[in-house]
Chain A
Amino acid sequence: MADAPVIRVRGLVTRFGRHVVHDGLDLDVRRGEVLGVVGGSGTGKSVLLRAIVGLLRPAEGQIEVLGQSVRDTPPDAYRRLRRRWGVMFQDGALFSSLTVRQNVEAPMREQLDLPPDVMRTLAGIKVRMVGLPEDAQGKYPSELSGGMRKRAGFARAIALDPEIVFLDEPTAGLDPIGAAAFDRLIRQLRDALGLTVFLVTHDLDSLHAVCDRVAVLADRRVLAIGSIADMLDVDHPWVREYFHGPRARAAKIMPPEPA
């Protein structure tokens, strides 16, 4: 299997006015892995995600997804490239005027020419795969709880069987049981669909449960990347605070301190 990274970011610079978010950021995401991206608030995790999927034009730098540049691609190639990833936004970002099933059908309807009954069935399968109950299919997003909206957003992100899924804080705002279930779901679907997952999160439990590698954003770049065990050895105040703090201990990343 080729070891070329599915996402390759080199020298990324993004700024808003005078505020520099990323300054020379490099990142590789390998095929089939779950990469957790962590960092304090305002370190540009979501901005990085937006830059990679092309929602935001960086000031400088190269971004390649599946070997193709996201920035300098003709619109047609970008369209085809875009089909190979799915994005789940923080609150699901479901279309509020469509039901859950129509939301999942939406990408199929736009990109493909499938008979309605096939779309319906496939959307139904996706909705069930993310663990939503049968009656949720006909509901509107405003009738769903936050956790269900996130699941529905996930279902829409994987509607076209993408190779890469970008998840923006999938477990934020969920109760611990719901968050754990979502973590399981990510792993399960990663295994079943062979996904590469780019996971932006704050949730230490989540990192511990699903991520193969962790990338820490700080000081406008990727400060460290590696397994969670590697992170414990990183000598940086924020990283130490994050992975050695009481919450990290609760998430069993760290061995408990001897009494």
Chain B
Amino acid sequence: MSDTPPVSDRPCDVILDGDRLRLAGHLTIDALQTFDRAAAAELARRAVVIDITETDAVDTAGAWLLVALAGQGQGGRADIHGASSHQSQLIDTVRANMPPPEAGSETTGGMNDRLARLGGRIHGGAGAAVELVSFLGQVVATIGGIILHPRRLRLTSVVHHCQEVGWNAVPIVTLMSFLIGVVLAFQGAAQLSQFGAEVFVVDLIAISILRELGILLTAIIVAGRSGSAFTAAIGSMKMREEIDAMRTLGLDPVTILVVPRVLALIVMLPALGLIADVAGLLGGAVMAWVDLGVSPAAFQARLVGNTDLWHFGVGMIKAPFFALIIGIIGCYEGMKVGGNAESLGRLTSTSVVLSIFMVIVMDAMFSIFFAVVGV
């Protein structure tokens, strides 16, 4: 055996010589790419002996091919001749590790299977919902415990997360809300000017921003920013067994990891909502001034005079609930991360999608509720 070139371009030749199947050349995994197995198997059927004296390299793949061809030979077992001691050792090793005959064929598809999968998914979804609610209960109970024993609160951690989810989000929330105000004023003006009712653009902006858009869009941004960060942070801790380590040290991960995050969100989301409201109104006022000639003073007068304070109240009432949804879902999905990196990625995206979805569902429910109570 000389130095074997890394990639062989020489195919393996198969010659049937009486009842002797002669193989020559490279019998390696590279040669197997171009090897015509069907033709070789056809020839092997008539062979009693497989002669590999002329081969100059045999690797595991080649040995597998030899064993497979030998199995095709006359009497179901042709002899392999001409192997060096090294090669015959390899062939023996491969023969001992051949796949068991009748490797179970997997049956997939079919109506029953699909139904079963659907049922499994529904069952899984319902189970996850129950788990999520029980996680919520656990967090609420822990917060209750902290209210009774305030010393258990990790204040530093809460403040840290307040900065992360609140303060650091101020620029993006402000900018986004300002732009929404601008867009609303611009679109509203285009429509309202058709009736000469430009001045109602103030009401349009005030009601839509204060009541719905300010807080809803803030919640969506925070879900994308902080909900995903919660899942990723807690999930990677779970992956590296840090959560288990906490438990063995008698530290409660819910108290240490989840409660500060959820509390920080509950405190900061209304604050961010307030900032978004102000920025949105400002954007609307600027646009109303530039585009419609409604002066800031007129805007302010109409805003103060014509807008019920409850519009603002409705928006603010929703904020802590949205915060709770984002925080709970973000942390819960993080806790669900298993041993592999893929589940971390999957659950992070689940966390964002689910929390945005739940925020919108919650918003719709609030709309119905406020319509019923008449605010």
Of B64, B100, B341, B342, the residue contacting A134 (CB under 8 A) is B100
B61 touches A142 (CB 8 A): no
Look across to chain A and name the residue whose beta carbon is closest to the beta carbon of B338: A142
State which residues 74-92 of B face A: CB under 8 Å.
Answer: 86, 89-90
B99 touches A121 (CB 8 A): yes
Of B6, B7, B93, B99, the residue contacting A192 (CB under 8 A) is B93
Segment among A107-115, A176-184, A211-219 that sits at the interface with chain B: A107-115
A140 touches B89 (CB 8 A): no
Closest-CB distance, A234 to chain B (whole angstroms): 34
Q: A114 CA to B29 CA in the complex, in Å?
A: 9
Which residues of the other chain, A, contact B7 by a CB distance below 8 angstroms? 80, 83
Which residues of the other chain, B, contact A192 by a CB distance below 8 angstroms? 89-90, 93
B7-20 vs A: 1/0 string, CB under 8 Å?
A: 10000000000000
B339 interface residue (CB < 8 Å to A) = yes
Our count of residue pairs bridging A and B at CB distance below 8 angstroms stands at 70
Q: A121 CA to B33 CA in the complex, in Å?
A: 14
A127-141 vs B: 1/0 string, CB under 8 Å?
A: 011000010000011
Which residues of the other chain, B, contact A2 by a CB distance below 8 angstroms? 3
Closest-CB distance, B35 to chain A (whole angstroms): 9
State which residues 51-103 of B face A: CB under 8 Å.
Answer: 59-61, 64, 86, 89-90, 93-94, 97-100, 103
Q: A112 CA to B7 CA in the complex, in Å?
A: 10
Look across to chain A and name the residue whose beta carbon is closest to the beta carbon of B94: A125
B60 touches A193 (CB 8 A): yes
Q: A193 CA to B30 CA in the complex, in Å?
A: 16
Look across to chain A and name the residue whose beta carbon is closest to the beta carbon of B63: A125
A37 interface residue (CB < 8 Å to B) = no
Closest-CB distance, B64 to chain A (whole angstroms): 6
Of B6, B32, B60, B97, the residue contacting A114 (CB under 8 A) is B32
Which residues of the other chain, A, contact B103 by a CB distance below 8 angstroms? 124
Of A108, A128, A140, A193, the residue contacting B340 (CB under 8 A) is A140
B305-332 vs A: 1/0 string, CB under 8 Å?
A: 0000000000000000000000000000
A160 interface residue (CB < 8 Å to B) = yes
B28 interface residue (CB < 8 Å to A) = yes
A97 interface residue (CB < 8 Å to B) = yes
Which residues of the other chain, A, contact B33 by a CB distance below 8 angstroms? 112-114
A146-183 vs B: 1/0 string, CB under 8 Å?
A: 00000000000010110000000000000000000000
Which residues of the other chain, A, contact B340 by a CB distance below 8 angstroms? 96-97, 140-142
A161 touches B6 (CB 8 A): no
A122 touches B64 (CB 8 A): yes
10 inter-chain pairs at a CB distance below 8 angstroms, sorted by A residue, are A80-B7, A84-B6, A97-B340, A112-B29, A122-B64, A125-B60, A125-B64, A126-B60, A161-B61, A192-B90
Apart from A161-B61, A193-B90, 14 more pairs, CB < 8 Å: A80-B7, A96-B340, A96-B341, A96-B342, A112-B29, A112-B30, A112-B32, A118-B37, A118-B61, A121-B99, A122-B64, A124-B103, A125-B60, A129-B94
Give the top 3 A-B pairs by smallest Cβ distance, nearest first.
A142-B339, A96-B340, A161-B59
